[in-house]
Amino acid sequence: MSELAIEVRDVRMHYGGGRQRIEALKGVSLDVRRGEIFGLLGPNGAGKTTLLSCIEGLYRPDTGAIFVAGIDVLRDPQRARRKLGIQLQSTALIDGLTALELIEVYAALYEVYLSRSRILDLLEQFGLVDQANRRAKQMSGGQRQRLALAIALSTDPEIVLLDEPTGALDPAARREVWRMIRTLKEQGRTIVITTHSMDEAEALCGRVAIIDEGRIVACDSPHQLIAVADVQPVLKATVELPLEALPSLPGATQLRYVGEHLEIETASPEATLQALYAAAQQHGRLVRDIAVRQPNLEDVYLKLTGRRLEPSA
Ligand SMILES: Nc1ncnc2c1ncn2[C@@H]1O[C@H](COP(=O)(O)OP(=O)(O)O)[C@@H](O)[C@H]1O
Ligand SMILES: [Mg+2]
């Protein structure tokens, strides 16, 4: 048995033709190990859904190879797909069917026929047992997301692919879905999630591939990604001074305004802050709302691509 759950080798894939041609994947390679939670982190349009669709055998790459549990997806997509649990986007849930019916129908597509009590067990596992006879359209966003997870798990797959599993959820519902994803890992499954949230990638994933414009620009544990990118802590403060009025601050490697907050990348936050105080005082201004943030995946992304992952952050 292959020790890799998923192998992707130099996959290229485009949409459209002529002037409309878009190179969605420009030579992507990655390995997902058995039993890990692997994150594909990147902004909208990076190619995350396209890559998952290729792994699922729904799209055929132009070139390259993909193996799922050692099975060649291009040669034997149906056998490969039987190893996979695929989370439907919750918006795609067929609104008129009840939770029970949806699970039954989805599993049957894979020739898995579930008893009623097995379906109720699944709903129980995802906190939906009281929703068994409700239609998907009557459910809250969090319930629909959890139903999408229950459906993905209905065939008892080794490998679970989740495309933005916490998309539009509020923080409490999001944490609930995270807890459930961790439970899937504890059951020994391999999980691949896509996300554009670095919080989510850091909170959940053992390893993260950062994907940008169809290319993997880095792949490692969140901790290693941060260490290797050599990004500095960020000192944040509100100070009513334009950048031009600030002297060169000791330790500071980068200064920028994000909204009205000054952000300073600095190797020595204390020395930088002291100098900032002194400069503000000279101009009769105050330094307020001081915080020091340790480097995170957002900083890694910014360093690797020159852009921010989450424009609102
Ligand atoms: N069905 C499609 N037809 C044409 N272009 C597409 C289609 N799906 C995605 N794209 C384009 O391919 C690129 C990658 O998209 P996608 O894989 O959906 O990214 P992500 O999931 O990371 O947001 C984007 O430029 C997107 O506009
Ligand atoms: Mg997507």
CATH code of the domain containing 285:
3.30.70
Query: How many Cα neighbours within 13 Å face the side chain of 193?
Result: 29
Token pair 């591939």: residue: 209
Sign of the torsion angle spanned by Cα atoms 198, 200, 202, 206: negative
272 in any annotated domain: yes
CA distances from residue 118 to 107, 129, 141 in whole angstroms, order as listed: 12, 11, 24
Among 20, 44, 50, which is best to mutate for testing ligand 1, by the most ligand atoms less than 8 A from CB? Answer: 50
Residues of the chain falling short of pLDDT 70: 1-2, 89-91, 311-313
Kindly state whether residue 258 falls inside one of the protein's structural domains. Answer: yes
Is residue 189 in some structural domain?
no
Name the residue of 12, 49, 54 whose CB sits within 8 Å of the most ligand 1 atoms, as the mutation to test its pocket.
Answer: 49
At 103 the pLDDT is 94
Report the pLDDT value the prediction gives residue 168, as an integer from 0 to 100.
78
Nearest CA to ligand 1 atom 6: 15
Distance 55 CA to ligand 2 centre (A): 14
277 occurs within a structural domain: yes
The HSE-up count of residue 211 (CA atoms within 13 Å, CB side) is: 32
Tell whether ligand 1 has an atom less than 6 A from the beta carbon of residue 144. Answer: no
Asked if residue 283 belongs to a domain, the reply is yes
| 8 Å CB contact between 222 and 188 | no
Residue 40 CB less than 6 A away from ligand 1: no
pLDDT of residue 312: 54
Domain count, the chain: 1
Q: Between the CA atoms of 248, 250, 256 and 257, what dihedral angle is there, to the nearest 10 degrees?
A: -90
The order of strands in the sheet holding 4-15 is: 22-33, 4-15, 63-68, 71-72
Specify the pLDDT at position 167. Answer: 81
Is any ligand 1 atom within 6 A of the Cβ of residue 49?
yes
Residue 3 tokens, joined? 């020790």
In a domain, 182, yes or no: no
Domain, as residue range, for 286: 232-294
CA distance 171 to 183: 19
Q: State how far the alpha carbon of 232 is from the alpha carbons of 78, 275, 300, 308, in Å.
A: 47, 18, 10, 16
Ligand 1 neighbourhood includes 169 CB (under 6 angstroms) = no
Residue 311: the pLDDT is 64
**Confidence at residue 7, expressed as pLDDT on a 0 to 100 scale:** 98
The kind and range of the H/E element at 307 are none
Relative to beta strand 84-86, strand 159-163 is: parallel
Is 167 a pocket residue for ligand 1 (Cβ < 6 Å)? no
Output the CA 209–ligand 1 centroid distance in Å: 18
Residues measured by CB to lie within 5 Å of ligand 2, the ion: 48-49
Please state whether beta strands 252-258 and 261-266 pair in parallel, antiparallel, or not at all (unpaired).
Answer: antiparallel
Residue 62, amino acid: D
Residue 178 lies in a domain: no
Tell me whether residue 261 is in a domain.
Answer: yes
